[in-house]
Amino acid sequence: MNAAAEELDPVGLSDAAPESLWTKGLYKFRRDRVGMWSFAVVLLYVGIALGVWLGFWATGWADLAGGKWEPVSGAHWFGTNIIGQDIFDRAIYSTKTSFEVGLVVAVLATALGAILGAIAGFFSGSWLDELILWLMGVLDSIPFLLFVAAIAYTLQSIPEISKYSMHIAMIVTFWITAGRLVRGEVIKLKEMEYVDAAHALGVPEYTIIFRHILPNTAHILLVQATITFVAAIKSEVILSFLGLGVKDSMSWGLMISESSQEVLAGFFNNFLAASVLLFGLVMAFNLFSDALQDALDPRTVAD
């Protein structure tokens, strides 16, 4: 199994899942030129983010490296902002923030959705299922931004967590889609023979759910996680603009909100740096996600 395949199959699910879906998916994905290119771009961003994380570059994002609104120059590739910080460093540093937000939200929201969705699906029709469905309905009905703001307030009194109020709010809302998808899939899967067999062998119910059924929804979860990743990055921008987002760090959303007054005065550096980088990542991830979806769709795999 090569590196790309590992990326697609991070936890080695293919051993448990039907072999053909993953190998065929991989085969198909590698023939998808757009998919491969976008994957390469995503990897490039991953590299940038890792470099920031390891302290290779963009370490001076908080320093006052120059004067006010210096133009593009060799020392400041994208110029400086109002207080003299280097815009290039800040834009690069924000890549890390984006990945942090995207990964945390995508992984945790998908995991939460998988667990609750699987439980609801397995016990469909029972009170547990009703309860989870009700919870999904309730959370779906509260306007997103209001909900995030409310969570931000509630967590404000706990300074250690208040930094993550945006992450928490997104996880609490974004798990629902994954939950519904998994629930539907599990309802189908639990009628399969091997589940009946496991029942007959006296395998405990939760072992059946999490060891035997849930791994078979891995392709859905993987695609859903990439979609959630994009949604989280995009929401971060808007939430940070509204002052509900990233707190003690730097992000593209903060840069864009900083620029919203500046652009009307003819200063575009902040705006362009942040929005071009943001667009690149979201676009690549969107295309990657599409390619993944095509590759892992059982119906098209069967073609």
Partner 1 sequence: MRLLLLLLVSLLAACGNEQGEDSDTAGLRVYHHSSDGAPTSLDPVQAATLYANLIVVNAYDTLYSYKYLERPYALKPNLAAAMPEVSGDGLTYTIKLKRGVHFIDDPAFDGGKGREVTTADVVYSILRHFDPETRPQGAWLWQGRVAGLEEWKAAGPDYDRLPDGLEIVDDYTLRIHLLQPYPQLLYTLAMGYSGVVPREAVEAYGREFGLRPVGSGPFRVVRYDTEKLIFEPNLNWRWEPVDLAAEGFDPATQGFTGIEVLDGQRPPFVDRFEISFIKESAARWNSFTKGNEIQYAGVPVELVDRVLASKDPVSLAPEYEALYQVRSDIEAGFVYSAFNMDMEFGTDPDPQQNERNRALRCAMIKGFDWERRNDSFYVNLGKVFPGVIPPVVPEYDPDASVDSVTRDVAGARQLLAANGWTPETLPTMVYGTVGSVRSRQFYEQFRAWMMEIGFPREKIVLREFATFGDLNKRWRESQLPLISAGWGLDYPDAENTLQLFYGPNKAPGSNSSNYNNPEYDALFEQAAVMLPSPERTKIYRRMNQMVIDDCVAITGLSRTRISVWHREVLMYPDTSIVGGFFFPFVALQDEKGLRLAPEPTPEVN
Partner 2 sequence: MELFSYSLRKLATGIPLIIGVTLVSFLLMVYFGPDKTFELVGKNPTQEQIDEIRAQLGYDQPMVVRYLDYLREIVTLDFGNSESTGERINALLARTIPVSIAVALPGFILGNLLGVGLGLLAAFYRGRWPDKMIMGSAAIGMSISFLIVIIAFQIILSSSYGLNLFPVRGWSVDSFGDYVSYVTVPTLATVFVALGYNTRFYRSVIVEETTRDHVRTARAFGVPSLQLYCKLILKNCLIPIITRIMFSIPFVVISGSLLIESYFGIPGIGKVTYDAIITGDQPILKAVVALTAIMLVVVQLLTDIMYRWVDPRVSLK
Least CB distance from residue 157 to partner 1, whole Å? 9
Q: How far apart are CA 93 and CA 252, in angstroms?
A: 9
Q: Which of 43, 271, 294, 297 binds partner 2 (CB under 8 A)?
A: 271
Q: Which is nearer to partner 2, 14 or 94 (CB)?
A: 94
For 208-214, the CB contacts below 8 A with 24+ separation are 208/122, 209/118, 209/119, 209/122, 210/115, 210/118, 213/118, 213/122, 213/186, 213/189, 214/114, 214/118, 214/182, 214/186
- Our finding on whether 279 is near partner 2 (CB under 8 A) is yes
Q: How far apart are CA 33 and CA 48, in angstroms?
A: 23
In whole angstroms, the minimum distance from the beta carbon of 37 to partner 2 comes to 13
Cβ 284 to partner 1, closest distance in Å? Answer: 28
Q: Which does 146 bind (CB under 5 to 8 A by kind): partner 1, partner 2, none?
A: partner 2
Compute the least distance from the CB of residue 134 to partner 2, in Å: 6
Closest separation in Å from C-beta 242 to partner 2: 7
171 binds partner 2 (CB under 8 A): no
Per-residue mark of binding to partner 2, 230-259 (x: CB under 8 A):
----x--xx--xxx---------x--xx-x
CB-nearer residue toward partner 2: 83 or 142: 142
Binding partner at 84 among partner 1, partner 2, none, C-beta below 5 to 8 Å by kind:
partner 1
Phi/psi region, residue 55 (left: phi>0; alpha: psi -120 to 50; beta: rest), is left
Size of residue set near partner 2 by CB under 8 A: 40
Burial class of 163 by CB neighbour count within 10 A (0 to 12, 13 to 18, 19+): middle
